Amino acid sequence: MTEEKTLLWKGIPLRITFNGNYSESFEHIYGHALTHIQVYCTQPLPITKTGYRSLFIEAPIVREEGGYLQLIQNLLDQGAKQRDWRKKQSKSNQLSLF
């Protein structure tokens, strides 16, 4: 079953879908579920240049992060600390004379 939620990150609205058990075969083999998380946004993010990201993550990792919304929040926050993202953000905040 797929859930859909909205997350507001630094004023940017994101649509996130979560499938808690993407593959029954994976669960049968490994003893835990494989989740599928999709992030949709109309602009680039620290985790995607296009505004779309698809992640397959094992359920125990999602739980350790505090759930899929918290996991995405953590990935975005970590990505926002990267030099390339900070540089891009400062550039987009600066007006161009040309």
- pLDDT tens per residue across span 16-58: 999 999 999 999 999 999 999 999 999 999 999 999 999 999 9
> Does the structure show a pLDDT above 80 at 12?
yes
pTM given for the model: 0.87
Contact between 17 and 3 (Cβ < 8 Å): yes
48: its two tokens: 């995607």
Q: Where are the domains of the chain?
A: 2-92
- Residue 67: its pLDDT value, please? 97
